[in-house]
Amino acid sequence: MRKAHLTTAATYWIAKRLPVQISCEFAYDVRDPYAITLILDSEGEQPVRWVFSRELLADGLAGRAGQGDVSVWPESGGADCWFLWLEVGRAPHTALFEMRSEPITEWLLETYRLVPEGEEATGAEWDQLTHLIE
């Protein structure tokens, strides 16, 4: 298996008192070992795709991480329940999502079994990448 995939639920906070439940998908492919893809509202009519670094997600599970278009941070829900908050976009046009962190953490560990941290460049096909630059 050269890919890892997770479908999970997220809460899209349209406003402080207007949460909407959506489906989202996390995807990882060893052909692009530094990146993960997140598809928000994956079952909706207009899904939104964000690609950002696997390291950003890992850092965001431990503490606030990210600059620019993607920010991620954890928050305790009490009684050993943790949530992951994800904000995408640039002010004033941002979207805020909340999801349970446990399935994301397990999925992220699966990606590290596929390509361990620090070994992302070892499987790169440099000839193909160099050809793209030329």
The values of phi and psi at residue 112, to 5°, are -75, -20
| Helices of type H across the chain | 54-62, 101-114, 126-133
Kindly report the CATH number assigned to the domain that includes residue 73.
Answer: 2.30.31.20
pLDDT at 16: 78
Domain extent for 48:
3-133
Residues 6+ apart with CB under 8 A from 2: 29, 30, 31, 114
What are the counts of helices (DSSP H) followed by strands (DSSP E) for the chain?
3, 7
Q: Residue 34 has which token pair?
A: 């530094």
pLDDT at 14: 87
pLDDT digits (tens, 9 = 90+) for 44-61: 888 899 999 999 999 999
pLDDT at 88: 92
- How far is Cα 29 from Cα 16, in angstroms, rounded to an integer? 35
pLDDT at 92: 83
What domain count does the chain have?
A: 1
Residue by residue, pLDDT tens for the chain (134 residues) are 699 999 999 999 988 788 999 999 999 999 899 999 999 988 888 889 999 999 999 999 999 999 889 999 999 877 788 999 999 988 888 899 999 999 999 999 999 999 998 888 886 665 655 655 66
- How far is Cα 91 from Cα 94, in angstroms, rounded to an integer? 6
- How far is Cα 42 from Cα 59, in angstroms, rounded to an integer? 24
